[in-house]
Structure 1
Amino acid sequence: MPLPSNQLAALRGLSSPTVANAIETFKVRPREAGNLSSEIRALFSELGPMAGYAVTALIRAERPAAQQRRASIFAWWDYIQTIPAPRIVVMHDLDQPQGQGAFWGEVQANIHKVLGCVGVVTDGSVRDLDEVRRLGFQFYAAHVSVSHANVHLVDFGIPVKVGGVWINPGDLLHRDQHGVVVIPHEIAERIP
């Protein structure tokens, strides 16, 4: 069940280290769990903290998609609407090395902002930084790229591992310039 808007606003008033410290006091998971690695960096830290619900997907950019292995962008947009707002897209890049092509740039940020998304967390790459910063759409990424290459959706609505942490659709996330933390649902309303 999503948090009321006033509680989400209160969460946005906290730093991610404060949220992580609060979670530890409940002893619902090991201290090292739920905190994404530092490879996932805030690119627009001046936009401040964010809290929202995970919308998950897998991408690939290295080679063109075979039609039967490409997820429908229309089904993706429909799926996004099944997750409570505000939404944070969490996208795992299947390529090795990751970040060969950016799914995220000005066009995708505009589309996803209209769909109620406030940002993206990805171990892949992003681009069009100046344009996206002006939109107020948050980028947390491991890479910056000049190209989209052959990027395409492979699957969505499944658990994904980004920054060393498994994230499920609908997980509550908090992000700021320090990083990203997953907030356990069972204690979320007791954090702010």
Structure 2
Amino acid sequence: MKPVTEPLPAALLADLARYDTPTICNAMEVVAPERRLTGFTSKPFVCPFPDLPPMVGYARTATIRSTSASSLSPADARAQRLAYYEYAGTGPGPRISVIQDLDGANIGFGAFWGEVNSSVHKALGCLGVVTDGSIRDIPQWAPGFQALAGMLNPSHAYVHLDGFGDDVCVHGMTVRSNDLIHADQHGAIVIPANLAAKLPEAAELCARREEPILGIARSPDFSLEKLKEALARSAEIH
């Protein structure tokens, strides 16, 4: 699967954002059934802002560590941070930060994300972050900036960038720089560029298939016989 190299139409991204992430996963099962076991988050996480709408954007990847100090000099560390911010704030947009914590058994020991980085990344054009590391400063967090994180944690510890722009694996989802990501309170999924335009139609198909089942399940006249009939009608919808 190749990541997005040319920006997709903004109207398509807006169309994809009309659906929640489980619906996009359902649609992916229709257009690419071979991807049923890959490409989406599959590990526990916390989402402090479940009421925010789905976000769709291009991945900006990075890795962090926090249980030991950076080996870079202060000047080199500042230069690395500025280079990362330039990377996070350029390229196809909107963007989503995807950051892997490399601290192994101590993952999440120090928080890279809080009031400052959420505000900076929002200003850089990012919609949110997907990270297996920790976050903090929830009351001071940048408004409207989504977060799918491994945990909450009060301290920075020695948190620092390890690198950026490389492949990462977060919550069981492997992501490359510029991959198209769809995410909400349920999790995230990588959308292959060649499948993105097919997903809205597939999502509507899934909804039509669910309609007769939900109709009888929510009806005061529900019966097993009517459920069987609804399942049969659903199977005939193509």
TM-score under structure 1 normalisation? 0.93
Give me the whole-angstrom Cα distance separating, in 2, the residues matched to 1:169 and 1:33. Answer: 17
Superposed CA deviations along residues 79-102 of structure 1, whole A, max 9, x for unmatched, are 123431111100000112200000
Give me the whole-angstrom Cα distance separating, in 2, the residues matched to 1:28 and 1:186. Answer: 14
- Aligned pairs for 1:136-175 within 5 A: 136-175=144-183
Structure 2 residue runs of 5 or longer lacking an equivalent are 1-5, 201-238
Q: State the structure with bigger RCO (CA 8 A, min sep 6), 1 or 2.
A: 1
Give me the whole-angstrom Cα distance separating, in 2, the residues matched to 1:15 and 1:138. Answer: 14
- TM superposition outliers: structure 1 runs of 4+ over 6 Å: none
Query: What is the CA-CA distance between 1:28 and the residue it aligns to?
Result: 6.2
2:85 aligned with 1:77, yes or no?
Answer: yes
Identify which of 103, 118, 135 aligns with 1:126.
Answer: 135
Percent of paired sites with the same residue: 45
SS at 2:15 equivalent: helix
Alignment-derived partner of residue 18 in structure 2: 13
* Alignment: residue pair count: 191
Structure 1 residue runs of 5 or longer lacking an equivalent are none
Alignment-derived partner of residue 101 in structure 1: 110
Q: Which has the larger radius of gyration?
A: 2
More helix by share: 2
Superposed CA deviations along residues 118-159 of structure 1, whole A, max 9, x for unmatched, are 100000000011111x52111100111001111100100000
Alignment-derived partner of residue 34 in structure 1: 39
The 10-residue stretch of structure 1 (55-64 or 5-14) with the greater mean CA deviation from structure 2: 5-14
Conserved? CA contact 2:31–2:198, under 8 Å: no
2:69 aligned with 1:64, yes or no?
Answer: yes
SS at 1:20 equivalent: helix
Give me the whole-angstrom Cα distance separating, in 2, the residues matched to 1:147 and 1:116. Answer: 26
Conserved? CA contact 2:31–2:199, under 8 Å: no
CA RMSD of aligned residues (A): 1.6
Give me the whole-angstrom Cα distance separating, in 2, the residues matched to 1:86 and 1:73. Answer: 20
Conserved? CA contact 1:49–1:174, under 8 Å: yes
Conserved? CA contact 1:63–1:150, under 8 Å: yes
